Chains A and B, each alone.
Chain A
Amino acid sequence: MASDDEYSYAYSEEEEDYQMSDDESMQFNPEAKENPNAAPVFSYAKKPGIQMLPADQVFPEMKRKLVDATEVLGIPEVAAVVLMREFHWQKDVLLETFFRDPDGLLKKNGVYHRVNPKPALNSPHCAICYDDVEEKMAMPCGHEFCMDCWHDFCANAIQEEGPICVCTSCPDASCDEIVTEEEVTKAAPDHLPKFRTYQLRSFVESNKLTRWCPGAGCERVATAQSASAMEQDDNVAHCDCEGCQTSFCMKCGEEPHSPTDCPALALWNEKCRNESETANWILANTKSCPKCVSRIEKNHGCNHMTCQKCRHEFCWICMGDWTDHGANTGGYYKCNKYDVDTGTSSGDDLSDAARAKRELDRYLHYYKRFHAHAEAQKFARKQLKETENRMVLLQESSDDVKWSDVEFLKTANEQLVECRRVLKYSYVYAYYLKPQFEMQKQRFEHHQEMLERFTETLSELSEKPLAEMDRTDVVNKTRVVDQFMKNILKYVADGMDD
């Protein structure tokens, strides 16, 4: 708004650490070379160790691991599947346990007789249907049943019990020997494809190095070469599925959540579930102009609000005066810091109720900001979808405009989505920062503040009517905001050392 001029190029006079760093893990859009006006796009370095594979290509991977284990252990493949599953497909851990007490391990996992078969027990009748049947099939444990009963037993397990059918044990009540692909192949070949699908599914789910793409209906599997391939320095194992365009963290399956790590995110999500009633109440009750109390509908991405009625400018997140937030006051962008002493008596003599209220206030401070950026991210995503139309309009607005000249709009929008995501999780990170790291916390909040301020500016710019769109300004702010985003992530990745 009015403060645009104050923001312009202010970054070039900032401290040294806002200069471009040529960190190799960040890459720039190669198009930037051809078109000097295009803003650089933040993109995650593809880790060579992580691949997205269609489900049918995961099968050979499972097979390869099985053959590998089978050779070392000297046991049938169908027994190896069971053991590998138990050890989350970590061959080394399995081998270590196996060679310490092979028989104990085989018995515990229901594959002892698979390796040491017993002759069939040869009873005159089938213990399931009670009929006298000639043709019977025995498991390696010696328990035999008629083929019809075997078929129905396998079919029932696969159809009624679903994925867990790969853990079915011998029909004999006192026997723990596992029913494997071998029995299904012989007795219920009609159900073998389904059984194999479940086996593959259990491979992906029990394996620490694989994860189903969380995209709705997507059948691709993220596959890491090794555990270290998943250790990236921004606390996330970033995966982009080329099949359904979903981005996720391979370690936890959630949206990429840098700078927060997976355990903190899980805690946060749990907390939000528990507190959702309170938080929703607060959110629902703060949606009116702080000055004239008329109801405000937020229908755009940026958090700089102007009341339609009284023209009061304020911040959507803290509902404070916007003038307190801008650079023109000379002060910090005052929105991201939680002040412990605000509204509470300090000291250790707090009652339990006061302590609980303070903790709730603290949570709500972070939650409101988390939520506001989440909403703004959704908006930016929606806007990104509409960008193409805007680009066409912009190009048609003048004769000598090329497509590459309007691409900056898309770049800016993509950048906004990313920034909102990082800002969102930066509040989760801040919520779990230990209080003793006061200095680091201040630095972190400073980085957060810079990113937040420029994200709001870019957001505001990108929402302007096309006629008022200043390309150079948008391109510059996109580049700057990208740099601020890298700065905060790098600060955390470097262990918050100054």
Chain B
Amino acid sequence: MAASGRLNKELAEVGKDDKTSGVKAVAVTPGNLRELKGTILGPEGTCYEGGVFEIDITIPKQYPFEPPKMKFTTKIWHPNISSQTGAICLDILKDQWSPALTIKTALLSLQALMCSPEPGDPQDAEVAKMYLSDRKKFDSTAKFWTESYAQPVNEDDAITRVCEMGFDRDSAKAALEKHGWDESAAVNQLLGGL
């Protein structure tokens, strides 16, 4: 199976209109097409608007006959996504997958899921319960999570902030990239921690 040929074409295809589609997927390390990073912009008019959500994508050996494995790395308050682990409950990522679907269609389906949750088939029971019983509280919690965890990182600002703690620009940038722009993790590494 020429999976890599297809994957290269798929990534090129996503890149063509990522400004308008609101979804993006790139290789984490150039040349390795098995580990990808997806990004979904929170859809307008939802509690996720203004947020940038990152998704871990792993391409299985049998791709495209088996679905790509996806999970949110950005914390999100949504009935079909685990608030703890980011695991996703979506049929096309499981038994409804078809080799004629793509990473882009899967990301677009996730975006659609953010617009219209399906609390009847929940991944996170606690979130689903709140969604059904107290919609106001659900909306405000989801918004709060979006504002707290899903804010686009201004990379220059982040590097500057890390540098202010006494590190040089290059190592600050490298550490931030390695830790997905998580400042405290980057600083921790630079301090010789984990």
Instruction: Identify the A interface with B (CB < 8 A).
Output: 127-131, 143, 148-149, 152-153, 156-157, 160, 170-173
> Quick one: closest A residue to B7, CB to CB?
A130
Q: Give chain B nearest CB distance to A141 CB in angstroms.
A: 12
Cβ A160 vs Cβ B100 within 8 A: no
> Quick one: closest B residue to A157, CB to CB?
B65
Q: Is B147 positioned at the interface, with any CB of A under 8 Å from its CB?
A: no
Cβ B9 vs Cβ A128 within 8 A: no
Which residues of B have CB within 8 Å of A152? 1, 65
Cβ A173 vs Cβ B5 within 8 A: no
Instruction: Identify the B interface with A (CB < 8 A).
Output: 1-2, 5-6, 9-10, 62, 64-66, 92, 96, 98-101, 105
> Quick one: closest B residue to A155, CB to CB?
B65
With A156-B62, A156-B65, A160-B66 given, is the CB distance from A130 to B9 under 8 Å?
yes
Which residues of B have CB within 8 Å of A143? 100
With A128-B64, A173-B92 given, is the CB distance from A153 to B99 under 8 Å?
yes
Interface of A is mostly: loop
Q: Give chain B nearest CB distance to A139 CB in angstroms.
A: 12
With A153-B65, A156-B62, A156-B66 given, is the CB distance from A129 to B100 under 8 Å?
no
Which residues of B have CB within 8 Å of A173? 92, 96, 98, 100-101, 105
Cβ B1 vs Cβ A131 within 8 A: no
Residue among B10, B62, B105 with most chain A CB within 10 A: B62
In the assembled complex, the Cα of A127 lies from the Cα of B100 at a distance in Å of 6
Cβ A129 vs Cβ B6 within 8 A: yes
Q: Give chain B nearest CB distance to A133 CB in angstroms.
A: 11
In the assembled complex, the Cα of A130 lies from the Cα of B5 at a distance in Å of 8
Which residues of A have CB within 8 Å of B105? 173
In the assembled complex, the Cα of A129 lies from the Cα of B64 at a distance in Å of 9
Which residues of B have CB within 8 Å of A129? 1-2, 5-6
In the assembled complex, the Cα of A108 lies from the Cα of B66 at a distance in Å of 24
In the assembled complex, the Cα of A148 lies from the Cα of B99 at a distance in Å of 13
> Quick one: closest A residue to B1, CB to CB?
A152
Q: Which of A128, A156, A157 touches B100 (beta carbons < 8 Å)?
A: A128
Not counting A156-B65, A171-B100, A173-B100, a sample of 20 additional A-B residue pairs whose C-beta atoms are within 8 angstroms of each other reads A127-B99, A127-B100, A128-B99, A129-B2, A129-B5, A129-B6, A130-B6, A131-B2, A148-B1, A149-B1, A152-B1, A156-B62, A160-B65, A160-B66, A170-B98, A171-B99, A172-B98, A173-B98, A173-B101, A173-B105
Cβ B98 vs Cβ A131 within 8 A: no
In the assembled complex, the Cα of A129 lies from the Cα of B5 at a distance in Å of 7
